[in-house]
Amino acid sequence: MKILVCVTSVPDTITKITLTDNNTKLNKAGVQFITGPYDDYALSRAVDLKEQLGGTVTVLNVGGADAEPVIRKCLAVGADDAIRVNAEPTDAYFVAEQIAAIAKENNYDLILMGRESIDYNGGQVHGIVGELLGLPSISPVMKLNIEGTTAQITREIEGGHEDLEASLPLVLGCQEPIAEWKIPNMRGIMSARTKPLKVVEPTGNDTLTQVSSYELPPARGACKMIPAEEAETLIKLLRTEAKVI
């Protein structure tokens, strides 16, 4: 089985975000980047499937050279090789277009990625990739098993879960608890240094959106402590100040 796992390089969840270029870009100075957490779930399940069924796992990232430490970590976790499309991930369609181009060349049985990245939280890429390739796209997938050429899937829906079956190949957006995150061991870290990482130039230039500006959330207000015996005061403040009741 040939599995493609698409990963994002995103700011660490504890990063203090600042903006630059008239609030149109993230200021990357001093920012620690990590693999998107949902992508980590996708990669972990891909490695599990490879160990169970045999085959290969290829990691794909659309990004600059600064994303390569994140890619090498994915190789250390258990991916066999990696591809980096040498372009900034400007919008969901552009990223999906690059993924689809790579997938068409290599005929993967399964394309996995996180249900969304944690920087833009768009949740669009898997659906667009499926459309461009003419393949089913399902998200958010919480459980995945493969029997022959059939995928047995559980996904989250409003108010519950849905069990599905779909024929390979297909595109899946993943989330917990599809697998447990894997921590690279020393052997994996050492072997990742010599695993193939191919850099390719992007295809097309279909950036369909442009950022006007970003805004940081408002600063948190002061915390008011209300004595437990003053419930009426708390209710009044929730009505008049917080305006949540």
Distance CA 6, CA 58 (A): 8
- Give the domain CATH number at 28: 3.40.50.620
Identify the CA nearest to 80 among candidates 109, 101, 51, 107.
51
Quick: pLDDT tens for 171-230.
Answer: 999 999 999 988 888 989 999 999 999 999 999 777 788 888 888 888 877 788 889 899
Residue 104 lies in a domain: yes
Residue 232 lies in a domain: no
Q: Binning pLDDT at 50, 70 and 90, where does residue 121 land?
A: confident
Residue 235 lies in a domain: no
- CA angle 31–11–201, rounded 5-degree value: 95
DSSP 220: P
Identify the CA nearest to 116 among candidates 37, 59, 211, 17.
37
Quick: pLDDT tens for 37-84.
Answer: 999 999 999 999 999 999 999 999 999 999 999 999 999 999 999 999
- Which residue range forms the structural domain that includes residue 13? 2-217
Tell me which amino acid residue 113 is: M
Residue 149 lies in a domain: yes
Tally the domains of the chain: 1
